[in-house]
Structure 1
Amino acid sequence: MNKIIFTFSCLLMMIFSLLSLSVGAVSISIPDLWYSLLQKDTSFSFIVWEYRLPRVVISILSGFGLAVSGVILQSLVRNPLASPDVIGLTKGAGFFAALVIFLFPSSPSYVLPAAALTGAFLVFILLLLLSKRLTLSPDAFALVGIAIGAVFQSGIQYLLVKYPADINMTLLWLSGSLWGRGWSEVFSLLPWILILLPVAWWQYPKLNVFQLGDEYSQTLGLDIIRQRFWLLLLSVSLAGVSVASVGSIGFIGLIAPHIARKLVGGRHQLLIPLAAIIGANLMLIGDSIGRIIIVPREVPVGIMTAIIGAPYFVYLLRREHKRKG
């Protein structure tokens, strides 16, 4: 059964990738698309190779990173509502990106993702300091993250009010968009994902143990504080590099782990790779739909994932309330 689920998920990723390559302000038929991919001298080759193919690759890579980051967070915090955007990582990244856009508009292109990554790691440091070196309960850790995210969100709103003339670029980045992304962004993100994803999968025995609770984890010989620190750092790194490349895209790290958990259960050796594929599929379909709703304009993928994820988040809140009530 698991093989069927993985095969079907990979098949969907291929279909959604072809759809993303085909749709947009200029529609490309499947025969023309195949020919453009094989021969670079067709009328559609430039569009496919320079605009749409890098978007597809970035969608997949960032979907991988955000989804796996969400898997790690939910397992460590033991809270189904935990995700990179919920505990403030994307808010911190967004605030520092907004600072660069507003205060240093002429800075080189690499400064913006570097600032976003810095913001994500600053949130991580604040989480460590305010949660007393990770010794608080998982619920308290999640609440601290929500509070930090609210503070950075307030900072973003202040910058938007103070610098209204430069608001367009900031809103585009904060909403999460693949517009204008090219091969330079692909090659910036690819090495991180190729390194961090295998590292995340190799940690599946520890993540399986963490799900049993702190007392059982200690009984089994796991150094809780140290391992939680490194796993959280891994989660922050995955989310940080993804947000730095595509902007503040929310709900991927929340939805993808839940869907994967319902399909294959809580064993992380299966949960991590399936959640990564589902995260990529959500990014691909969100980007594709966003490009065909109001042609020739496009709706940022972050808005599309929010439309999908917000109702699911409400559903999870109600389910958790009923379970605890």
Structure 2
Amino acid sequence: MKLVFTQKPVGLAVFGLIFAGVVSLYTGVSDLDTGQIVRAFLYGGEHDFVVNHYRLPRLVLAMLVGTGLGLSGVLVQGVIRNPLASPDLMGISAGAGLAATSLLVIFPQAPLWALPVVAIVGGLLAAMMIYATAMLTKPTPARLALTGVAISAFLSSGIDFLLIVHPIEVNTAMVWLTGSLWGRNWQQFPLLFAAVCLLIPVAFWLAWRLDVLGSGELIARGLGVHVTQVQVLALIVSVVLASVSVSVAGTISFVGLLSPHLARLLVGSKHHILIPMAALIGAILVLVSDILARGLIPPTEFPAGVITSVIGAPYFIYLLSRYKGW
């Protein structure tokens, strides 16, 4: 039985995100007090770079990446009606990662705007591969998830091949592929912010349609929902959000899987509330992972993707164990 809290969980999630954001400003090699952080905000000065050009952009980007991945996960689960679906497990993140890695190692001087564009193309191609493969067999939830894992592994082998053929750029690519916000700054902000802000209203437009679709395609058509249009639009929005997030932070795993599940536990399955809750939880997961990544053993920094994998992999195994028919 699902556990649904009634004490304003969205408000608690917002408070948790604000609290994590404040902690993020204090976390790092430089030990700053509140006065130094406030003075850096107001006047710049000695700690201007650390606060305004290192910690603050990482904070903002972590929230936006987590929001994008959380929204992507809830949409792909809603349209496929598969609790095992997520952009990284379905191979979408790997497709975006392969395309972006190809650009990084083959055309290292490419303009910054080209990376998210190439990542989106890679994510869409990966989604098409999954769809074509699924049509060959009767897709059950676990089988579809395992198909995505297989395609993800295939695409990841392409990434490994690129790194072997182009060893000079291996360090830059590896930091990016493990999922990290290290070295990110305000340059990555505009496109990611625009994508998230433009696609959130689309996600809300899809909300009640996904609720109706969850009752079955025949019922949805009877209620006037254009099923194919909703499915295609939801998948495109999911792929774009995941791909743009991957283009900024690399392959941060399991956020798109965990966020919708935790959101359903807290607020139920109605998409009008599930969508903002999944976005908030995704933002919290990525931000907390980034805090732990740079705060556990400073000055050593772990990739944030390692932290999310440690949390998400056991949960994915638990979900697989619940499906006996695959």
Q: Same fold (TM over 0.5)?
A: yes
1:22 aligns to 2:26 (yes or no): yes
Contact between 2:36 and 2:47, CA under 8 Å: does it hold in 1?
A: yes
1:238 positional shift: 1.3
Name the aligned partner's letter for residue 230 of structure 1.
Answer: L
Name the CA distance, whole Å, in 2 between partners of 1:159 and 1:46.
35
2:322 partner SS: helix
Deviation string 1:79-127 (CA, Å, 9 cap, x unpaired) is: 1110000111110111112212222223333333332222112213334
2:323 counterpart residue number: 320
Name the aligned partner's letter for residue 177 of structure 1.
Answer: S
1:164 counterpart residue number: 167
Contact between 1:77 and 1:138, CA under 8 Å: does it hold in 2?
A: no
1:93 counterpart residue number: 96
1:128 positional shift: 4.3
- TM-score, normalising length from structure 2? 0.91
Q: Report the RMSD for the aligned CA atoms in angstroms.
A: 2.2
| Larger mean Cα displacement after TM superposition, 280-289 or 100-109 | 100-109
Identity among equivalent pairs (%): 39
Correspondence list, 1:1-325, <5 A: 2=6, 4-37=8-41, 39-132=42-135, 137=139, 139=141, 142-321=145-324
1:169 positional shift: 0.9
1:221 positional shift: 3.2
Name the CA distance, whole Å, in 2 between partners of 1:270 and 1:291.
32
Name the CA distance, whole Å, in 1 between partners of 2:131 and 2:98.
19
Name the CA distance, whole Å, in 2 between partners of 1:57 and 1:149.
28
Contact between 2:70 and 2:260, CA under 8 Å: does it hold in 1?
A: yes
CA separation of 1:2 and 1:54: change in aligned 2, threshold 3 A: farther
Name the aligned partner's letter for residue 26 of structure 1.
Answer: S
1:241 positional shift: 1.4
Name the CA distance, whole Å, in 2 between partners of 1:78 and 1:55.
33
**Equivalences, count:** 321
Contact between 1:76 and 1:138, CA under 8 Å: does it hold in 2?
A: no
